[in-house]
C-alpha cells in the first residue's frame, strides 16, 4: 500500500512538472536528438500533452486504492485498463500529425 502511494505521488509530481511545460529532458528520444532537431520541437506543447497522459495514468493508479482496501479485483482491472488505454491513446496522438513542429 505504501509503494502504491509513492508511485501515485511520483506520477502526480510528473504530471505537475509536465503541465508547467517543463521536464522535456525526461521524455525519451528528446535527449538523443541533435541540437538542430531539438530547435524544431515545440517542447512546451509536447510537455503539456504529455502531462495529460501522465494525469490519466495517475487517475488510473488511484483506482488501485479501493481495490487494495476492499480487496475488490474489479478496481485493479479498471485501473490496468485505464493505464493501457491512456498509454496507447497518448502515444498515438503524440506521434501523429507533426503536432510539435515549430513554424
pLDDT score at 102: 84
Q: Give the separation between CA 38 and CA 99, rounded to whole angstroms.
A: 14
Per residue in 15-43, pLDDT tens? 999 999 999 888 888 888 899 988 999 99
| pLDDT value for 52 | 96
pTM reported for the whole predicted model: 0.89
Grid cell digits, residue 99: 503536432
DSSP codes, 46-95: HHHHHHHHHHHHHHHHHTHHHHHHHT-HHHHHHHHHHHHHHHHHHHHHHT
Amino acid at each position: 500500500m505504501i509503494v502504491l502511494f509513492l508511485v501515485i505521488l511520483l506520477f502526480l509530481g510528473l504530471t505537475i512538472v509536465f503541465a508547467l511545460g517543463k521536464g522535456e529532458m525526461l521524455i525519451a528520444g528528446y535527449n538523443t536528438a541533435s541540437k538542430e532537431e531539438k530547435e524544431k520541437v515545440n517542447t512546451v506543447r509536447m510537455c503539456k500533452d504529455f502531462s495529460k497522459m501522465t494525469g490519466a495514468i495517475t487517475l488510473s493508479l488511484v483506482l488501485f486504492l479501493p481495490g487494495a482496501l476492499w480487496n475488490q479485483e474489479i478496481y485493479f482491472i479498471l485501473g490496468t485498463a485505464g493505464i493501457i488505454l491512456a498509454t496507447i491513446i497518448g502515444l498515438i496522438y503524440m506521434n501523429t500529425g507533426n503536432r510539435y513542429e515549430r513554424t
